[in-house]
A and B are shown apart, each in its own frame.
Chain A
Amino acid sequence: MKTITANRLTDGRVIYRTAEGEWTEELARAERLTDDAVAEARLAQAEAEPAIAVGPYLIEIEADAPGGQKWRREGIRLTGPTTGSTKVTNTSRKAA
């Protein structure tokens, strides 16, 4: 499963794209994309909004947490900074 993430132009915050085409800071509200063709189409829409979101791209997610090979990177983007306090978002990964 995938979703679209980017950084907000005005303050650099990590944001995710919802099914309604809005942008949110909460991963839980992000759109779940299962079909790759649909995902690419949604990404093209996101790229057409450079005044809101900078550098949108697709990430892997598992349940409500970043997954795939870049789970840690996306985990830090979601909950960082890492100064002794980053909550591990994907507990199954922590065990592994």
Chain B
Amino acid sequence: MLQLDRKTVTRDVTNAQLEAGGGTIVEIAGDTPWQDAATQISGAVQVDIRFPSFKDGRGFSLATLLRERAGYTGHLRAVGDLIPDQAQYLHRVGFDDVAPERTDLEEDWAKAKARFTHAYQPAQDRVTPIFGQRVSAPKDELAALNARYRGADAIDILRDAIRNQWTGRIAILSSFGAEAAVGLHMIAQVAPDTPVIFLDTGRLFAQTEQYQRALSEQLGLTNIRMVRPQAEEATAEDPDDKLWQRDPDACCALRKVRPLDNVIGEYDALITGRKRFHGGERMALPVVERLDGRIRVNPLASWSAQQVTDYFQRYDLPRHPLSDMGYASIGCWPCTAPVQDDDDVRAGRWSGRSKTECGIHTPSRIAAE
């Protein structure tokens, strides 16, 4: 006997009928017209549909029709000459269990039943089809996480994300820029072996490279992953080192977006240090979001510039050498400028152009435009 774990809502009815003294088990042949079968099974608590041969599939249709059109909600059992390969189909058309003639294949039945975990179409097994999961689950899941993290301390969000939510499948993305030490300091306390993805674009300030080494060592981060552009691509697309001038989007794609895409396949979630006060598109930044099918966790989303400054002071964290020189947000040297006091912190990035994001935080179809 193989249970098919159908999501059934019929147990109460069955028990009630059994207690009332009624409730019979009816066996019908698989080739019975469903209207006739519907009459024969009236009052039954269990219906056995007999398959004379595994090659005769009419019992499958009959099961579905009894469930769907006759509205039969009781126990449905498949009996007769059935083979393990049919386990999944029997489940999908609405059988609760199977009693095959051959009883020595239980292992094969169990294996066949577990072969597929998802369904494309709705059927009598009441499994939520994939499109239904795509539509409802991710949003609900994100909303639930965002609700849970609302008002939580950044370090608690990080701890939960790393230890509970996406254990072993999460990394932090860091530029080792002006504010990076905050998130990295928290990571160092929670799990210093968390992978830190650092995009070495080949156009970084020498001060950034130096700061990256010093800060990693001071905080005890043990898993820095340097991600670099492919050498052949760089030679082909940017032979004269002037791509940043001609087409900054193409330069970011070559030096940041594609190299990152190559490594993030290993992770379900990425932590970023983006904050709403950065302005632009970031003003509506949620704590947890989905980007191209991957989770982004932004534990510092709600932080203010003042909170960042205070955090540096409280833990006596070293500042990026350039931040004392008026650089509030630091990327590659050709496209980063200092900002005036009353500018947005990211005003010095690609300044004089409409570009505000490099593309690693935007959906791929937008970045590709």
By a beta-carbon cutoff of 8 Å, the part of chain A in contact with chain B is 10-12, 81, 83-85, 87
CB-CB under 8 A from A10, the residues of chain B are 122, 129, 131-132
Is the Cβ of A83 less than 8 Å from the Cβ of B122? Answer: no
By a beta-carbon cutoff of 8 Å, the part of chain B in contact with chain A is 31-36, 58, 61-62, 65, 121-122, 129, 131-132
CB-CB under 8 A from A12, the residues of chain B are 121
CB-CB under 8 A from A83, the residues of chain B are 31, 58, 61-62
Q: With A85-B35, A87-B35 given, is the CB distance from A11 to B122 under 8 Å?
A: yes
A85 CA to B62 CA, complexed, in Å:
9
Q: Which partner residue on chain B sits nearest A79 by CB separation?
A: B69
CB-CB under 8 A from A84, the residues of chain B are 31-33, 58
Q: How many A-B residue pairs have CB under 8 A?
A: 26
Among B36, B61, B129, B132, which residue has its beta carbon within 8 angstroms of that of A81?
Answer: B61
Q: Which partner residue on chain B sits nearest A81 by CB separation?
A: B61
A44 CA to B303 CA, complexed, in Å:
52
A84 CA to B65 CA, complexed, in Å:
12
Q: Which partner residue on chain A sits nearest B132 by CB separation?
A: A10
A24 to chain B, nearest CB (A): 16
A85 CA to B31 CA, complexed, in Å:
9
Q: Which partner residue on chain B sits nearest A9 by CB separation?
A: B131
A11 CA to B124 CA, complexed, in Å:
11
Is the Cβ of B122 less than 8 Å from the Cβ of A85? Answer: no
3 closest Cβ pairs, A-B complex: A85-B33, A83-B58, A83-B61
- Could you name 7 residue pairs across A and B whose Cβ atoms are closer than 8 Å? A10-B132, A11-B121, A83-B31, A83-B61, A83-B62, A85-B61, A85-B65
CB-CB under 8 A from B35, the residues of chain A are 85, 87
B100 to chain A, nearest CB (A): 21
CB-CB under 8 A from B131, the residues of chain A are 10
B56 to chain A, nearest CB (A): 10
Given A11-B122, A85-B62, 9 further pairs, Cβ under 8 A: A10-B131, A11-B121, A83-B61, A83-B62, A84-B31, A84-B33, A85-B32, A85-B34, A87-B35
B67 to chain A, nearest CB (A): 14
Q: Which partner residue on chain A sits nearest B36 by CB separation?
A: A85
A17 CA to B172 CA, complexed, in Å:
52
A11 CA to B122 CA, complexed, in Å:
6
CB-CB under 8 A from B122, the residues of chain A are 10-11
Q: Which partner residue on chain A sits nearest B65 by CB separation?
A: A85
A87 CA to B132 CA, complexed, in Å:
33
CB-CB under 8 A from A85, the residues of chain B are 32-36, 61-62, 65
CB-CB under 8 A from B62, the residues of chain A are 83, 85
A58 to chain B, nearest CB (A): 26
CB-CB under 8 A from B33, the residues of chain A are 84-85
B36 to chain A, nearest CB (A): 8
Residue from A10, A84, A85, A87 having most chain B Cβ neighbours under 10 A? A85
A11 CA to B131 CA, complexed, in Å:
11
A12 CA to B120 CA, complexed, in Å:
11
A84 CA to B61 CA, complexed, in Å:
10
CB-CB under 8 A from B61, the residues of chain A are 81, 83, 85
CB-CB under 8 A from B36, the residues of chain A are 85
A84 CA to B22 CA, complexed, in Å:
31
A10 CA to B122 CA, complexed, in Å:
8
A27 to chain B, nearest CB (A): 15
B119 to chain A, nearest CB (A): 11
A75 to chain B, nearest CB (A): 15
CB-CB under 8 A from A87, the residues of chain B are 35
CB-CB under 8 A from A81, the residues of chain B are 61, 65
B66 to chain A, nearest CB (A): 11
A84 CA to B37 CA, complexed, in Å:
12
A10 CA to B134 CA, complexed, in Å:
13
A83 CA to B51 CA, complexed, in Å:
14
A28 to chain B, nearest CB (A): 16
B366 to chain A, nearest CB (A): 23
Q: Which partner residue on chain A sits nearest B62 by CB separation?
A: A83
CB-CB under 8 A from B65, the residues of chain A are 81, 85
Residue from A10, A11, A12, A84 having most chain B Cβ neighbours under 10 A? A84
A91 to chain B, nearest CB (A): 15
Q: Which partner residue on chain B sits nearest A85 by CB separation?
A: B33
